[in-house]
């Protein structure tokens, strides 16, 4: 089974499904999203959507209200295509700890979602995810996905590895190969048994090759669509792995086992 | 004709040719290189090669001696495969102006190379390429290729566009879509008729789509191999352009006309 470990709700959803079909992806982890860059038709409209993204990645605009539209869109996509999408739910990281736990209980567990993410703590403040890890642990070790590309810092990646070691039952997925800090990300994830590395957004082909070589059982094919493209993301994995067990693991086996759907 | 606008000498060269064959690339612009990341077999050896790259991108280690090995490797590749490679020659940017002109005359024009690059001025110092543009102008408007990804800054891109306007006969190619400053790069190149934008290393698929939409006659398919992969780079262009004139232009027509080989 080919499983994309990272994608966001598209507008319209059918465009996403068409790309997944072309890429031969069976199922994909789906995160809600506030920006919708795929709506942009030119540079001006894209700039508007990217501003929403920049705010989200800076950790601002994190009110519950800001999340409601994203949750609704996610719900609609999951209801329409339960066979294709694996829903994950996000949570604002600036809430008091007991509220984080309540939101996860209501919006993630209560909606039958399979994990938590994509979390975007402000740069330098990855420690803010600790209440989420605690709640994830209390709810049967839900997997938690954290944004790894800029503005995430190398120190954030180290913080995540320390937190992962503190909650070893909770799978902690670092997205986008850790961005420009990918060499350190590979080492941290390799040395922390509960961490996983999602391989989207790499701008150097041998970063993907070496990540898989170092961590064949905990690297995950992901596209980060609509930012990335499922066809290119899958082709990337296939360019650096020969057909066989490791390729199958990365393209879906590792995540399928993690989610208990294989 | 499919022409890759950006690649570096591989060790061994045959590995590069195999990738070009798989990607269906007829000819490729070839730059000399000091780092050889493709030699790395693990993280430790890659770290060593990437340190050489970091030094080069910081503008240090720019002695003529440091360039000699790269020039020799380039010569050997061009001599062995004149039908596949289109040689470009680089030049240290910390030489006195008259020496820059002499090096270009001897090492670029004297060796029959087709252009100058990939230049890597230190971040914030893109103005250092002006003597190169002047020499390029004096030698029949040789095309000049400048690194565009980090550590290149947005201000560097603006400097390049001002210099390009001052030497309008000299084609000035910005590499890697300008990196994270790609939106500004697209606007600057669009508004400066002698500038071109090479599309490798994009981590967002719609950056390539919008760049081609804005500048169909001056965007260039490139892989930045061995950092990028020719198959993925070509597939990226094909994912965002339907078959037809624009795709053909980007995959080779624009560069072929620029180099006078079509």
- A236–B214: do the CB atoms touch at under 8 Å? no
Tokens of B19: 């990738």
- DSSP states of A8-63 as a string? E--SSHHHHHHHHHHHT--EEEEE--S--GGG--SHHHHHHHHHHHHHHHTT-S--
- B43–A210: do the CB atoms touch at under 8 Å? yes
Question: How far apart (Å, rounded) are the C-alpha atoms in residues A50 and A56?
Answer: 10
Please work out, in degrees rounded to the nearest 5, the angle formed at the alpha carbon of residue A137 by the alpha carbons of A132 and A140: 125
ipTM of the complex: 0.95
Is the preceding peptide bond at A226 cis, omega within 30 degrees of 0? yes
DSSP character for B225?
Answer: B
CA dihedral B197, B203, B209, B211 (to 10 degrees): -30
Neighbours of B152 (CB within 10 A): 27
Decide which of 3.10.20.30, 3.40.50.720, 3.20.20.140, 3.30.70.980 is the CATH code for B3-259.
3.20.20.140
Q: Report the run of H or E that residue A98 belongs to, with start and end.
A: helix A97-103
- A150–B180: do the CB atoms touch at under 8 Å? yes
Neighbours of B131 (CB within 10 A): 18
Q: By CA distance, what is A182's nearest residue in B?
A: B43
List all residues 6 or more positions away from A82 whose beta carbon is below 8 Å from its beta carbon: none
- Compute the nearest-CA separation of B41 from chain A (Å): 8
Question: How far apart (Å, rounded) are the C-alpha atoms in residues B182 and B178?
Answer: 5
Question: How far apart (Å, rounded) are the C-alpha atoms in residues A108 and A126?
Answer: 21
Query: Which one of B228, B229, B242 would you mutate to disrupt binding with A, by most A Cβ within 10 Å of its Cβ?
Result: B229
Is the preceding peptide bond at A151 cis, omega within 30 degrees of 0? yes
- B206–A37: do the CB atoms touch at under 8 Å? yes
The confidence score (pLDDT) of residue A62 equals 60
Q: Cβ(A78)–Cβ(A17) under 8 Å?
A: no
Please work out, in degrees rounded to the nearest 5, the angle formed at the alpha carbon of residue A113 by the alpha carbons of A158 and A94: 50
Q: Is the minimum CB–CB distance between A242 and chain B shorter than 8 Å?
A: no
Question: How far apart (Å, rounded) are the C-alpha atoms in residues B141 and A91?
Answer: 56
Which residues in chain A come in under a pLDDT of 50? none
- Residue among A203, A226, A162 nearest A4 (CA): A226
Distances (CA, A) of B237 to A227, B51, B219, B233, B242: 15, 31, 10, 7, 9
- A150–B205: do the CB atoms touch at under 8 Å? no
Binned average pLDDT, 10 residues per bin, chain B of 262 residues: 98 97 98 93 91 81 75 96 97 91 94 96 96 96 97 97 98 97 97 98 94 98 98 98 98 97 85
Tokens of B84: 């596949």
Span A48-92, pLDDT tens digits: 988 888 888 877 666 677 778 898 999 999 999 999 999 999 998
Question: How far apart (Å, rounded) are the C-alpha atoms in residues A208 and A186?
Answer: 10
The confidence score (pLDDT) of residue A199 equals 98
Burial readout A212-238 (b: 16 or more C-beta within 10 A, e: otherwise): bbbbeebbbbbbbbbbbbbbbbbbbbe
Q: Report the run of H or E that residue A189 belongs to, with start and end.
A: helix A182-190
Alpha helix (H) ranges present in A113-177? 130-138, 154-166
Alpha helix (H) ranges present in chain B? 13-23, 43-57, 64-80, 97-103, 130-138, 154-166, 182-190, 205-214, 230-240, 245-248, 254-259
Measured between beta carbons, the chain B residues lying within 8 angstroms of A187 are 43
- DSSP states of A202-260 as a string? -SSHHHHHHHHHH-TTSEE----BTTS-HHHHHHHHHHHS-TTHHHHIIIIIHHHHHHT
Backbone angles phi, psi at B36, to 5 degrees: -130, 70
pTM confidence score = 0.96
List all residues 6 or more positions away from B148 whose beta carbon is below 8 Å from its beta carbon: B157, B174, B175, B176, B177, B178, B179, B181, B185, B198
Measured between beta carbons, the chain A residues lying within 8 angstroms of B35 are none
The confidence score (pLDDT) of residue A61 equals 61
Q: Cβ(B84)–Cβ(B27) under 8 Å?
A: yes
DSSP character for B249?
Answer: I
- Compute the nearest-CA separation of B254 from chain A (Å): 22
Domain ranges within chain A, ordered by starting residue: 3-259
Chain B 28-67, residues with CB within 8 Å of chain A CB atoms: 37-38, 40, 42-43, 46-47, 50
3-state SS class at B115: strand
Question: How far apart (Å, rounded) are the C-alpha atoms in residues B33 and B89?
Answer: 10
């Amino acid at each position: 089974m080919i499983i994309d470990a990272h994608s966001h709700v598209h507008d319209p959803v059918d465009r996403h499904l068409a790309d997944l079909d072309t890429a031969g992806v069976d199922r994909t982890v789906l995160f809600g999203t506030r920006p919708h860059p795929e709506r942009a038709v030119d540079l001006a409209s894209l700039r508007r959507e990217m501003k929403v993204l920049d705010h989200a990645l800076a950790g601002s605009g994190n009110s519950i209200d800001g999340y409601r539209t994203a949750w609704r869109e996610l719900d609609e996509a999951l209801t329409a295509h339960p066979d294709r999408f694996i829903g994950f739910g996000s949570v604002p990281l600036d809430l008091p700890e007991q509220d984080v736990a309540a939101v996860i209980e209501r919006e993630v567990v209560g909606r039958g979602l399979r994990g938590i993410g994509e979390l975007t703590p402000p740069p330098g403040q990855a420690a803010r995810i600790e209440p989420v890890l605690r709640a994830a642990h209390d709810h049967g070790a839900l997997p938690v996905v954290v944004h790894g590309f800029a503005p995430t810092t190398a120190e954030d990646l180290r913080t995540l590895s320390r937190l992962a070691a503190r909650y070893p039952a909770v799978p902690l997925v670092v997205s986008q190969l850790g961005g420009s800090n990918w060499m350190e990300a590979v080492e941290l994830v390799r040395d922390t048994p509960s961490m996983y590395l999602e391989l989207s957004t790499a701008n150097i082909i041998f970063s993907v090759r070496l990540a898989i070589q170092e961590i064949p059982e905990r690297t995950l094919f992901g596209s980060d669509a609509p930012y990335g493209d499922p066809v290119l993301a899958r082709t990337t994995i296939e360019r650096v792995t020969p057909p066989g067990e490791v390729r199958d693991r990365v393209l879906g086996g590792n995540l399928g086992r993690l989610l208990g759907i294989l």
